[in-house]
Amino acid sequence: MLSLWARAAPSAVTAVHCRKGRGPLRHLRLAGIPALAAFSLLWFQVPTAPAAAARVAQPHVVAPIPDVAGPGSIAGQLPAPISTTQCEEQLGIRCYSPLQYHVAYDLNRLYGQGITGAGETILIVDSYGSPTIRNDVATFDAEFGLPPVNLTIDQFGAIPPYDPTNSTMIGWAIETTLDVEYAHAIAPGANIVLAETPVAEEEGTSGFPQMMSAEETLINRGVPDVISQSFGATENTFPGFSSGNYSSLLDLRYAFKDALRHHVTVLAAAGDYGATNLESNGSTLYPYPVNSWPSTDPLVTSVGGSELTLDNYGNRLAPDTVWNDSAGAGGGGLSAVFQRPWFQNGVTNVVGDSRGTPDISMSAAATAGCWIYVSFAPFGPVWGVEGGTSEATPMFAGIVALADQLAGHRLGDINPALYLLGALSERGDRTGIVDITSGNNSFGGVTGYTAGPGYDLASGWGTVDAYQFVHALARIG
């Protein structure tokens, strides 16, 4: 996974790309296009603080960020985001708060009914974790008026001490922050369990055994109701793939089979390179369509990326589109490992004989991203704008937790219910599924897939009106 880091004066943005798990920070360009994967982060310097105004319209100022190529921390920060209007005027991007998402995804009506995820548990799995996550999510909550999170941290193995000069640890600390803050932002009453593992996930099998073992252990303890996974590796990079031997990948599925037995919902990010993905070297993209696991696993719900156009209060100014900007695009396409699962039989005209992804999409655009807060070195304490399907996945995990609470039980594998709701929505029923019919996920010179009516390989079934969707999913799940 890569992250896009930017330090900007008001008139310019410079970018440094960090390969998670691939050594030192360095600048990467693929066919002249900046590369990103499961998450992308933009840090900006804003010249002046805005005048005080309404909370949603005026979250506060982002402070300067040091060069990410070296260690260090900065003092005298102003811990506050700015409004979407100011982001557009000063930075040339849109930036959104949780409060805007609450409006955009019609969540406030659920909260008004007491559906907040209370009693449900979302499991987040990340290599290393973040050394300041408790402080950071508390600051995030205070800024946006969210209730304090019930966060449990469970370490599996000896987690190496955080090193602010280690780009891999920095990347996972950011990932952890995004995952925790936005699962909590969508399901503010849910418990969050953060499982930290000691080996970084990379292309191929690296890091996955530790992650799957952690998931299985917690599932068997009865801990999670929903699992959010913001990581993935290209199917083609697993050992034996070129010879048609997929055992190195298939042998890792035991945690998902365990989740199925225990009625635990499992989600995974569809990726941030559109229809392509990273080669084994972690620096270049495949020149043809590929897909990534665990997103392609039929026991997993794949979460793709959309782009929202909102005003300062979260009202839509235009329909959502497939995320596709200069930083990345929503992952999606056909699996080379898994055949079409039965729940996709109704979309055979789209997927053929293969498992197709994504299943559903949420906000992920790097140039229309969400505010996160971090206080670890070398950046913090600062606010940054984050995007990618690593944003979309914990957000959808929050929505599933809301549905679990409303149903009064775990919904388990939601793919059959999701595809039934998709078919019903095509018939005109109110299921909460909102079709995305514009945009594509072509990226890095690889022609991808175009959104259209119904299911497609660019957005899945589209996105959701959470109020209607949660009620519909709880009824049939």
Output the 3-class SS for 402-453: HHHHHHCCCCCCCHHHHHHHHHHHHHCCCCCEECCCCCECCECCECCCECCC
Alpha carbon distance 287, 276 (integer Å): 7
Statement: residue 58 has pLDDT above 50: no
Phi, psi of 441 (to 5 degrees): -120, 35
230, pLDDT greater than 60: yes
Q: Which of 1-10, 130-139, 183-192, 444-453 has the lowest mean pLDDT?
A: 1-10
Instruction: Answer yes or no: is pLDDT of 5 > 80.
Output: no
Residue 53 has pLDDT above 50, yes or no: no
pTM: 0.88
More confident residue, 467 or 382: 467
Token pair of 2 as six digits = 């890569």
Q: Residue 64: is its pLDDT beyond 90?
A: no
DSSP-derived 3-state class of residue 349: helix
Assign 79 a pLDDT band (cuts: 50, 70, 90): low
d(CA 228, CA 399): 11
Selection from 127, 156, 143, 311 nearest residue 229 by Cα: 127
Among residues 440, 397, 454, 449, the alpha carbon closest in space to that of 268 is found at 397
pLDDT score of 47: 32
What share of the chain in percent tops pLDDT 70? 83
From residue 389, alpha-carbon distances to 80, 162, 221, 272 in Å are: 24, 25, 28, 6
Of the ranges 88-97, 310-319, 388-397, which one carries the lowest mean pLDDT score? 88-97
Tell me the three state secondary structure of residue 173. helix
Structure confidence at residue 238 (pLDDT): 96
pLDDT at 210 over 50: yes
Residue 326 DSSP SS3: coil
**Domains of the chain, with CATH numbers?**
97-362+385-476 (3.40.50.200)
pLDDT of res. 401: 98
Contact 304, 389 (CB under 8 A): yes
Q: Is residue 377 a contact partner of residue 71, using CB atoms and an 8 Å limit?
A: yes
Q: Would you place residue 206 in the very low, low, confident or very high pLDDT band (cuts 50, 70, 90)?
A: confident
pLDDT band at 430 (very low <50, low <70, confident <90, very high): very high
Q: Does the pLDDT of residue 322 top 50, yes or no?
A: yes
pLDDT value of position 312: 97
